[in-house]
Amino acid sequence: MLKKYSKSLSVLALVAVLAACSQTESANQTKQEAKVPSATKVEKLQVNEDKHLVIMHLNDTHGRVEEGKYDGMGYARVKTLVDNVRKNNDNVLLLDAGDTIHGTVFAALSRGESIVEIMNTMDYVAMAPGNHDFNYGLDRLEELEDKMNFEVLASNVEYKEDGNTAFKPYIIKEIDGMKIGILGVSTPETAYKTSPANVEAVTFTNPIATAKKAVEDMSKEGVNYIVAVSHLGVDEDSYYTSIRLAEEVQGIDLIVDGHSHTTLKNGLQIGDTLIVQTGFYDKNLGKVDISINKDGSTNATASLISKEEAMGRTEEVEVEKEVVVTVNDDYSIKAGDTLSEISFSHKIPQGTIMAANDQIVNPDLIYAEDNLVLPTERTEVVKEVETRVVGGVAKDQTVMDTINRIKIENEKITSVVVGHTDVTLDGERGQVRAGETNLGNLLTTAMLDKTGADLALTNGGGIRASIKEGDIKKGDVISVLPFGNYVVVIEVTGQDIIDALENGIQSYPNARGAFPHVDGMKVKFDPIQEAFSRVVEVTLDNGEKLDPAKTYSLATNDFMAVGGDQYESLKGKKTLGEYESLEEILSDYISKNGVTITTAEGRVSSIR
């Protein structure tokens, strides 16, 4: 059942609607924004005595609940750090600025519910929905909202049908005699930075206008301090940013931001508003210490707790240790000695003495003035170099128990059969990094089928396993694509495509992770030419030659879209759409269509 939160229709008439696929300011948009009234003066209540408030925050974790080489500190350490702050202060609020419930296999297998379960153990207060939080669809996000022990806040997400807001615009949290107003905004870029089908029932309206209305409404209800949880970011390429929010909306004291993956170590002060953001993948945990004073003044200090601090650093130290060593002492046999007497008096077994003295053949025949060696154990102090973890915090056991339980449940899902193949789908490292394979072709075909783009391109290094002949299980697909990379459609020129292909084949015939797997085109290249001069021709599936000056839509993965594997020609391009993760798209394609490609088809081929 859809949740609907009422909103004044008179305000809706004043709100500008961001065009679904536009990233540039249009004349119509400017005209609509001119209709938005400026904010009235925001009055805030004064506290009776000086108060201290702490805001802890994360953003853009993208389902990274456990620590990893390229990931953050993990939610179990986040919980410990937050709890440590709570021990010393009762007034602590934990907030999340979005892009939280999607991005890893761990998250996708339960369509986000696993992340919600963990967040529920951490005592979150509220989150703003990021564009990727809609990747399972609006209906699923609303289902997950019902399972949350915290609020989803978004003042600018409205149903097309009736203009009501899909989520609460704001809440007022009462804590220690203070009223803390918390409003939420989502980026209007969500209209094209998730699959459009996921958000077809809603409109992402002007966040500046809706934030002004929320601030004014909270002011009327009486608040001491206002926080915006914002998935807008600070990138200059975005039309709506948290910087604009701070500049144009009076009364917001703090913006807990996300979306741009920006690390703001001590925050960014814009007028009277402090903007904070932690980067991404819980590599940092944000902390804002806030003083709310009885004279009406406030001040805030932002800081970050890094992954290195949370996990501790390793260092080599020299330590002294007591060790037991065996020393061979010389012993001269005296008249009347027997081996048993020597063994008894020196507390050394006869067998040990005999083993250390080859000349003893018969223990009853030993002679005075002969020499023996007696293996004697002694304790000595030695110096050793030891690697220690210095600092860091322990993992919260409740969070770890939840993660481990979910892992067991996920194993049931990975065993589900999604299809069947009569041939082995080749994802072997030496193959996908040096040439076209049937698995690479199937993956790029699935990418085109999902997105409707003109062309598809992915890197062989992202394909990590083969799928053997027989039934295909969900876990098999995850083994092929384990990184949680999602599909992005970007606008490129034909020359950008050629430059990308040149990058991918530059090391051929040597294996390289950048080797291109494609659909929508056939590529011929000459391997004896110098690198970056090897592409001979690129022919589209409709028979036309690729036009270097023409614009095309390209489906690729998010890693390559930001220049990964040296795909520099794809970096910084206009985003036309963002979709599910590669393993979700491939799994869904096989479930619906079967294995439609069983051989390499000459999509990328050498002319020699």
Q: Which two tokens stand for residue 300?
A: 């805030």
Q: Which residues on adjacent β-strands are paired with residue 386?
A: 317
pLDDT at 150: 98
Please indicate whether the domains covering 314-388 and 415-606 agree at the CATH topology level. Answer: no
CATH topology of domain 415-606: 5'-nucleotidase;  domain 2 (3.90.780)
DSSP annotation string for 380-444: EEEEEEEEEEES--PPPHHHHHHHHHHHHHHHHHHTSEEEEESS-B---HHHHTTS--HHHHHHH
CATH of 9-15+47-309, one of 3.60.21.10, 1.10.240.10, 3.40.50.300, 3.30.70.1350: 3.60.21.10
Residue 465 has pLDDT above 70, yes or no: yes
DSSP, res 513: T
Q: Which two tokens stand for residue 144?
A: 């997950």
Sheet holding 254-257, edge to edge: 170-175, 178-186, 225-231, 254-257, 273-276, 268-270
pLDDT at 387: 78
pLDDT at 70: 81
Residue 173 has pLDDT above 50, yes or no: yes
Q: How confident is the model over 526-582, as pLDDT tens digits?
A: 999 999 999 999 999 999 999 999 999 999 999 899 888 889 999 999 999 999 999
CATH topology of domain 314-388: Membrane-bound Lytic Murein Transglycosylase D; Chain A (3.10.350)
How far apart are the C-alpha atoms of 575 and 556, rounded to whole Å? 11
Q: How confident is the model over 189-238, as pLDDT tens digits?
A: 999 888 788 899 999 999 999 999 999 999 999 999 999 999 999 998 88
Angle, helices 438-451/582-593, rounded to nearest 10 degrees: 90
Q: How confident is the model over 293-337, as pLDDT tens digits?
A: 999 999 999 999 999 999 987 778 888 889 988 889 999 888 878
Of the given ranges (18-32, 327-341, 515-529, 572-586), which has the lowest mean pLDDT? 18-32
DSSP annotation string for 168-215: BSEEEEEETTEEEEEEEEE-TTHHHHS-GGGGTTEEEB-HHHHHHHHH
Domain boundaries, the chain: 9-15+47-309, 314-388, 415-606
- The CA R_g of the chain, rounded to the nearest whole Å, is 32
Peptide bond into 509 cis (omega under 30): yes
| pTM given for the model | 0.73
Of the given ranges (43-57, 360-374, 552-566), which has the lowest mean pLDDT? 360-374
